[in-house]
Structure 1
């Protein structure tokens, strides 16, 4: 006597979709949300579902709407320095220098999160850094990038390639020595400082890090030294009671 084969029953091509009252055949889900961009799947003569369905979005889907975090990603052009616009920010260099996992110990236990530090710059004297923390790496990097855009600072460069003079700076347990160099010398320094100089637009410089080499301290010390420790010819001339031309001739050589 032959045994009767038993198999799984065929699943009907119906589904319950949020926003639709009764279970019906698959509707056009793009009417519910633009990310659900597939047409209803069609079944062939044998009852099999056809997976080769046409898309309403032939190009990249609008993933920015999914990743956007209100309050963290909105950048007002009026808050940007130096007359920059949002279109200018798209051409900025972005360097994610630090990504690490952190934990916050509470009475309920350890709460893990991701930390990111991002440096942005246009390579022409404007740069900034920002920090972000979130449960996911992508969102933490996004928060850090937008905060870096809000913290843009203009840096003074001699001949648009190096710093005006040698700088010795201390930030907590980190000590850094910056040395201005002649044209063609290049950036011979710590790899974090190298990325920062690339974003700022400094082409010739050497640096030595002493003490703590914590990346966050190195990055913050570099920005602090470039913004607070540089003495411009105008400041030197004002303090010595001389003309700017005389100061430039004495400190930086004769210039036409």
Structure 2
């Protein structure tokens, strides 16, 4: 028997629930969740049957413990009218920012992962959300589900661009949006480009001055496109004209 050197650390032994206590013995007639498997069925040729049930039919128990149910579940009542959970599977999802952050406390630095996600169906509905967790995948999942609960409907002219030019300021970020003709494309900041793609805006140009912080740019874009646009109905009501006259004057409508 090999003798252990003085001062050497003892080897660690993996402990199994139900077997790590002295004086206890696992009942061999029962199936242990970690040590055993269900008996495999074989056919006449000795091949394994693919229909043999698994020990965990859906997912290991640890997955349910690690989930944050409040951030994973999206209630259909919180979605805009006419949308269901099946519609959310077809949405475009863009992770604009994924970075590592640290929270300085008296116990030291506590690292975590931060994610900023934008989702949209490409037909005038989009939303953004933030998520923070110890793992990247879970942070992105939290941000995606929060974005699903914060969907906003956007007005588009001819289903491709904005109705008019917009100048908007959000804190230290200044953005100018310009309506463009068909075929112009999206020529703008890369964050705004991804947001417009999720919304379904195909022709637009934008310029950002001041702070280019991703969160400020995203919030300024959503705020400007959802609140700062004046529709033909609003302009006609304010000028005392018909909607047809406003569309002919401002948008070159033929009728």
Q: Normalising by the residue count of structure 1, what TM-score does the alignment of the two structures yield? A: 0.79
Q: Deviations over 1:207-229 (max 9, x none)?
A: 11111111111111111110111
Tell me the equivalent position of 1:162: 161
- Whole-Å separation in 1 of the counterparts to 2:112 and 2:201: 34
CA distance in 2 between partners of 1:193 and 1:175 (Å): 13
The residue correspondences of 1:140-179 to structure 2 (distance < 5 A) are 140-179=139-178
SS in 2 for 1:83: coil
Match of residue 244 from structure 1: 243
C-alpha distance in structure 2 between counterparts of 1:153 and 1:37, whole Å: 51
Q: How many pairs were matched up?
A: 229
Q: For the aligned residues, what is the CA RMSD?
A: 3.1
In 1, the alpha carbon distance for the partners of 2:177 and 2:36 equals 54
Q: Which runs of 5+ in 2 are unaligned?
A: 3-13, 41-47
Q: Structure 1 residues 169 and 37 mapped into 2: Cα distance closer, same or farther (>3 Å)?
A: farther
Answer yes or no: is the 8 Å Cα contact 1:39–1:53 preserved in 2. no
Using the size of structure 2 for normalisation, the TM-score is: 0.79
- Aligned equivalent of 2:207: 208
CA distance in 2 between partners of 1:82 and 1:105 (Å): 43
Q: Alpha carbons of 1:180 and 1:68: their partners in 2 closer, same or farther (altered >3 Å)? A: same
Q: 1:230 Cα deviation (Å)?
A: 0.6
- 1:68 CA displacement: 3.0
1:82 aligns with 2:85: no
- Whether 2:127 is the aligned partner of 1:128: answer yes
Deviation at 1:166, TM superposition (A): 0.6
SS at match of 2:249: helix
3-state secondary structure, aligned to 2:145? helix
